[in-house]
Amino acid sequence: MEFSSFLTSLGTSFLIFIVLMLLFAWLSGKPGNSVIYYPNRILKGLDPKEGGSRTRNPFAWIHEAMSSTEQDVISASGYDTAVYFVFLSTVLGILVLSGLVLLPVLLPVAATDVGVKIAKTTSNGTFSNLDKLSMGNVKEKSSRLWAFLLATYWVSFVTYFLLWKAYKHVSGLRADALMSPEVRAEQFAILVRDIPPVPEGQTRKEQVDSYFKRIYPESFYRSMLVTNNKVVNKLWEELEGYKKKLARAEAVYALSKKTGKPEGARPTNRIGFLGLIGKKVDSIEYYNEKINEVTPKLESEQKDTLREKQLDAALVFFSSRVAAASAAQSLHAQMVDKWTVTDAPEFRQMIWTNLKIKFFQRQVRQYVIYIVVALTIVFFMIPIAFISAFTTLENLKKYLPFLKPIVDIDAIKTVLEAYLPQLALIIFLALLPKLLYSLSKAEGIPSEGHVVRAASGKYFYFIVLNVFIGVTVGGTLFSTFKDIKKDPDSIPDLLAAGLPVNATFFITFVALRFFVGYGLELSRIIPLIIFHLKRKYLCKTEAEVKEAWHPGDLRYGTRFPGDMLIVTIVLCYSVIAPIIIPFGVVYFGLGWLILRNQALKVYVPAYESYGRMWPHMHKRILAALIIYQLTMFGYFGAKQFIYVPLLLPAIILSLIFGYVCSKKFYRFFRDTALEVACRDLKEIPNMEQVFRSYITPSLSSDKIEDDQFEDALSQVSRSTSFV
């Protein structure tokens, strides 16, 4: 990339960010936009503009975000969001402390060397201004390489120190959450899967009750068998759909009385395909009839489901948190595939359809998914490498010659060179998250949070192997394949020239991510436009309006792997091209500031896992550090530095550090420590309320009595009704 294209990319990205930030400052002050910029506060019943007047100071949000405490984030968005900010601040600390040493030391060391010139570098076979500030400008076997070797160790030790400190801090956060005096239903329940066949003369419910009552005679409360809810869910969704349509029809009718004749105009609809064909009927009467028709079907199916469609899984409830925590981490049967017990996820996390999957089926599914993901990574590397090579201007002119007159125009050439490869890569990566989420869910994982963690891990390795390695290989080896074929021994020389050159590509990639990406995040232009279009043309009821502006959660499951790509890129190039470090600092600093504002005012968490994502974050950062160390080991080898074996202890130390952290901290994130669970509650838990919180909406009914479900529910506390 030419220096002019690099400056164009940075300048236009920064200009876009300024425009988007000004739009946010203007639009967020409009009363009609409050539901887009402050939905978290609105849902909590708070004043949207609490903490500063947008009319007097449109940039007060910066002060509010910076002055907010960790407890403010927890109160607004939960512990998982607070842990995500620990990740951001940890990485930011690693880059800042690394940059304080690397920038003033390595840049002069690289820039003052005589330099090297290799044919396969940037344009015209000479190093650009940025390349002169990189390790690529240092001669082979030079004594100056000692500075880069010591810098590699500095980055490693800074990472160890801050990761250890962060792990201890997040462990404390998780302990605080689990010691809370508030009653949380999931802390009194366990999930039981792989229940063996029912003994003769017993019902499934009696089997589960007698088993756990025998083991926990003092603390067992009652059980709830998991059922196959496919049919009842379909009927319930159908009924809820008719209720929404009825509310919409009534709202349209009420509006017609205000805007037209006093008697109004009753809405009508056709009952054929998609409401486009068929008989025209009165909407209010029709939907009332359908509700009256579906309701008895639903009630009948509820009874059949609870009596006839029981699965070999159950939720078991205990009267104390200690008993539930102890049961969740105990071995209950001699055989691993019988009476499998884990802690119960939150109700909103439960993936009910996965609970019926048998133990060995889950194992097989897991290995099959791993193979599928591995194959997907391998085959995706081909188009990634192709994109990184094809989207250069030379290859565009070569393979699409009709574009040559346009591409040769200086202004268009500059813009294309600045943005084309980065945009192609970002768009290509946008297709992945849903695919990986579906694959993770297919493993048979029982909770939403666990699926997100699994998908996040796959996404991390996917983008690291395909983007970082794929682009590096695609930008160096793929584009010079003919030269390698003629002279295989030239690979080290080509790699030595290509890695610094690709640093320029990655700098512009990082800049595009934080300027444009975070600018769009802050301004929320797309959600704002979609909301106003829906409110004007589609929404007729308050429920529909609320659904249109509801923000969802932070989606850190897909956000985190994208951040980890930046971590990996910046770490791997921190010593090779230290100029990338300030861009990484801006990315995570700006991300911390903007996402802090969004966490406090916008996003609403979909679930809470009390920081269980952190061990995965820790391992990914450590994996990025090891990739960085391996990259430096190979690059020093390409530079023919005879002391390169001195880097081997750093790699070994990283593996030892990861092992020690796992042994010391990880168990608490998998199981609840009993010393935490034994803390007193501020009130005696209402166990019936705890029990009811796990009843799915499709099985709830005011008309159903407990006696009708004796085959599915425990007989303990039968004096209290089911719902």
Interatomic CA distance for residues 165 and 70, integer angstroms: 16
Tell me which DSSP letter residue 196 carries.
P
pLDDT-based confidence at 487, cuts 50/70/90?
low
Give per-residue pLDDT as tens, 123-153: 333 445 666 777 878 888 888 899 999 999 9
The amino acid sitting at 321 is R
Structural tokens at position 620: 């990914």
- The C-alpha R_g of the chain, in whole angstroms, comes to 30
Residue 414 has pLDDT above 90, yes or no: no
The gap from C-alpha 555 to its chain's centroid, in whole angstroms, comes to 4
Mean pLDDT for 636-654 is 91
CB atoms within 10 A of CB 306: 24
Task: Specify the residue for token string 């791997």.
Answer: 572
Mean pLDDT for 414-428 is 59
Instruction: Enumerate residues 6+ apart whose C-beta is below 8 A from 368.
Output: none
pLDDT given for residue 387 in this prediction: 59
Residue 174 has pLDDT above 60, yes or no: yes
Interatomic CA distance for residues 505 and 418, integer angstroms: 9
Give the start-to-end residue ranges of the domains of the chain.
3-181+360-675, 232-303
pLDDT-based confidence at 713, cuts 50/70/90?
low
What is the full DSSP assignment across 457-516? HHHHHHHIIIIIIHHHHHHHTGGGHHHHHH-GGGHHHHHHHHHHHHHHHHHHHHHHIIII
Please report the beta strands in 125-188, taking only residues with DSSP state E, as ranges in sequence order: none
Residue 717 has pLDDT above 50, yes or no: no
pLDDT given for residue 13 in this prediction: 82
Residue 7 has pLDDT above 80, yes or no: no
Interatomic CA distance for residues 584 and 618, integer angstroms: 18
Residue 489 has pLDDT above 60, yes or no: no
**Lowest-pLDDT choice from 138-142, 182-186, 497-501, 610-614:** 497-501
Residue 389 has pLDDT above 90, yes or no: no
Interatomic CA distance for residues 568 and 591, integer angstroms: 16
Burial of 695 from C-beta contacts in 10 A (0-12 / 13-18 / 19+) = middle
pLDDT-based confidence at 122, cuts 50/70/90?
very low
pLDDT given for residue 714 in this prediction: 46
The amino acid sitting at 347 is F
When comparing pLDDT for 409 and 16, which is higher?
16
pLDDT-based confidence at 594, cuts 50/70/90?
very high
Q: Is 720 helix (H, G, I), strand (E, B) or coil?
A: coil
pLDDT given for residue 400 in this prediction: 57
pLDDT given for residue 194 in this prediction: 94
Buried b (16+ CB within 10 A) or exposed e, 9-46: bbebbeeebeebbebbbebbbeeebbbbbbbbbbeeee
Residue 707 has pLDDT above 90, yes or no: no
Mean pLDDT for 11-35 is 89
Interatomic CA distance for residues 380 and 375, integer angstroms: 8
Interatomic CA distance for residues 108 and 106, integer angstroms: 6
pLDDT-based confidence at 459, cuts 50/70/90?
confident
**Lowest-pLDDT choice from 179-188, 478-487, 497-506:** 478-487
The gap from C-alpha 451 to its chain's centroid, in whole angstroms, comes to 10
Residue 424 has pLDDT above 70, yes or no: no
Give the torsion sign (CA, 29, 31, 37, 39): positive
Burial of 141 from C-beta contacts in 10 A (0-12 / 13-18 / 19+) = exposed
Interatomic CA distance for residues 664 and 677, integer angstroms: 19
Structural tokens at position 491: 């690979």
pLDDT given for residue 254 in this prediction: 87
pLDDT given for residue 461 in this prediction: 84
Buried b (16+ CB within 10 A) or exposed e, 609-647: bbbbbbbbbbbbbbbbbbbbbebbbbbbbbbebeebebb
pLDDT-based confidence at 323, cuts 50/70/90?
very high
Q: Residue 18 to residues 13, 71, 316, 583: CA-CA distances in angstroms?
A: 9, 30, 54, 17
* Residue 225: φ, ψ to 5°: -75, 140
Interatomic CA distance for residues 248 and 631, integer angstroms: 60
Q: Is 282 helix (H, G, I), strand (E, B) or coil?
A: strand
The gap from C-alpha 461 to its chain's centroid, in whole angstroms, comes to 14
What is the full DSSP assignment across 507-549? HHHHHHIIIIIHHHHHH-HHHHHHHHHHHHHT--SHHHHHHHH
Q: In which region does residue 610 sit, left (phi positive, over 0), alpha (psi from -120 to 50) or beta (all else)?
A: left
Q: Which among 71, 64, 77, 90 has a CA at the least distance from the CA of 556?
A: 77
Give per-residue pLDDT as tens, 252-306: 888 888 876 777 788 888 887 766 777 888 899 999 999 999 999 999 999 999 9
Instruction: Enumerate residues 6+ apart whose C-beta is below 8 A from 40.
Output: 76, 77, 551, 599, 600, 601, 602, 603, 604
Give per-residue pLDDT as tens, 68-82: 999 999 999 999 999
Torsion of CA 501, 507, 512, 517, to 10 degrees: 140
**Lowest-pLDDT choice from 137-141, 526-530, 664-668:** 137-141
**Lowest-pLDDT choice from 128-132, 435-439, 450-454, 684-688:** 128-132
Mean pLDDT for 6-24 is 85
CB atoms within 10 A of CB 487: 10
Q: In which region does residue 552 sit, left (phi positive, over 0), alpha (psi from -120 to 50) or beta (all else)?
A: left
Q: Is there a contact between 696 and 352 (Cβ–Cβ < 8 Å)?
A: yes
Q: Is there a contact between 534 and 504 (Cβ–Cβ < 8 Å)?
A: no
pLDDT given for residue 388 in this prediction: 56
Residue 393 has pLDDT above 50, yes or no: yes
Q: Give the chain's end-to-end CA distance (angstroms, integer).
A: 66
pLDDT-based confidence at 712, cuts 50/70/90?
low
Residue 723 has pLDDT above 50, yes or no: no
Residue 483 has pLDDT above 90, yes or no: no
* Residue 713: φ, ψ to 5°: -120, 150
Q: Please report how many Cα atoms fall inside a 13 Å half-sphere around the Cα of residue 179, on the Cβ side.
A: 11
Burial of 538 from C-beta contacts in 10 A (0-12 / 13-18 / 19+) = exposed
The amino acid sitting at 148 is F
Q: Which among 475, 460, 461 has a CA at the least distance from the CA of 384?
A: 475
How many helices (H) does the chain have, and how many strands (E)?
Answer: 30, 6
Instruction: Enumerate residues 6+ apart whose C-beta is below 8 A from 350.
Output: 446, 447, 448, 694
Structural tokens at position 516: 């444009």
Residue 593 has pLDDT above 90, yes or no: yes
- What pTM did the predictor assign? 0.86
Structural tokens at position 699: 């099985």
Burial of 206 from C-beta contacts in 10 A (0-12 / 13-18 / 19+) = middle
Give per-residue pLDDT as tens, 162-172: 999 999 999 99
Q: Is there a contact between 607 and 448 (Cβ–Cβ < 8 Å)?
A: yes
Q: What's the mean pLDDT when you consider all of the chain?
A: 84
pLDDT-based confidence at 638, cuts 50/70/90?
confident
The amino acid sitting at 269 is N
Residue 395 has pLDDT above 50, yes or no: yes
Q: Please report how many Cα atoms fall inside a 13 Å half-sphere around the Cα of residue 482, on the Cβ side.
A: 2
